[in-house]
Amino acid sequence: MKSGPGPSARRARTLVRLSVSSASPGFTLLELAVVIFIMGLMLTLALPYLGGFREAALKSQARRLAGRATFMFDEATGHKLVLRLIFDLDNNGYAAAQLDPYAVQPVFAPDNSMSGKPVMLPAAIRIRDVTIEGIGTVNRGVVATNFYPEGYVDATVVHLEDASGDVMTLEFSPLTGQVAIISGDVMPQGMTR
């Protein structure tokens, strides 16, 4: 004679059925609170670094412009050329031009080399103003600074500004061609706006 499952087997099956049937298809309030707390903690830790990305973009564009100016100074003195860095404040960019010394009437022509390609700044960063000794401060239109074959450049100060109002100042040294990058809105002594 065959007997059915014993009482312990029946109890185990009943417990399995109870545990399966009592599982709800949602989250408890405690589980949701823990997830929201963890997300808030992660956001609190990451938020200071998000502002750093914006500042990093401004610094990157300042270094890019400084590198271009230093390269042009070296090219002008090394190849005995007159080069011009043209700032287009209305279109938020800059480009290089070279004086053709062999032309009948020398004029500046765009530099079509790889290093002379026009640069357009990102929308969040703009050239606020350019101050050139002897010309003054320009905040609209086109203005240019020259690099001479004798080894000097027009004394120039450029202010780059991002969308939040942070400013980087670039100061071109007329005798060495070095470009100082200064955080903040600075105007060197001797230069007037």
CA dist., res. 158 & res. 176, Å (int) = 17
Q: What is the CA radius of gyration of the chain?
A: 33
CA dist., res. 91 & res. 121, Å (int) = 9
CA dist., res. 40 & res. 38, Å (int) = 5
**pLDDT score at 85:** 94
- Other CB atoms within 10 Å distance of the CB of residue 85: 26
Alpha-carbon separation of residue 75 from 12, 145, 171, 177 (angstroms): 87, 15, 19, 11
CA dist., res. 34 & res. 120, Å (int) = 46
**pLDDT score at 154:** 94
**pLDDT score at 126:** 94
**pLDDT score at 89:** 94
Q: In degrees rounded to 5, what are phi and psi of residue 132?
A: -120, 130
CB 124 within 8 A of CB 54: yes
- Other CB atoms within 10 Å distance of the CB of residue 97: 18
CA dist., res. 162 & res. 181, Å (int) = 15
**pLDDT score at 110:** 82
CA dist., res. 63 & res. 192, Å (int) = 24
pTM of the entire predicted model: 0.70
Q: How does pLDDT run along the chain (193 residues), one tens digit per residue?
A: 555 566 665 555 555 554 555 556 788 888 889 999 999 888 888 776 665 666 788 999 999 999 999 999 999 998 888 999 999 999 999 999 998 777 788 888 888 777 778 899 998 899 999 999 989 999 999 999 999 999 999 999 999 999 888 999 999 999 998 999 999 888 766 666 5
**pLDDT score at 46:** 75
**pLDDT score at 81:** 87
Enclosing H/E stretch for 183 = strand 179-183
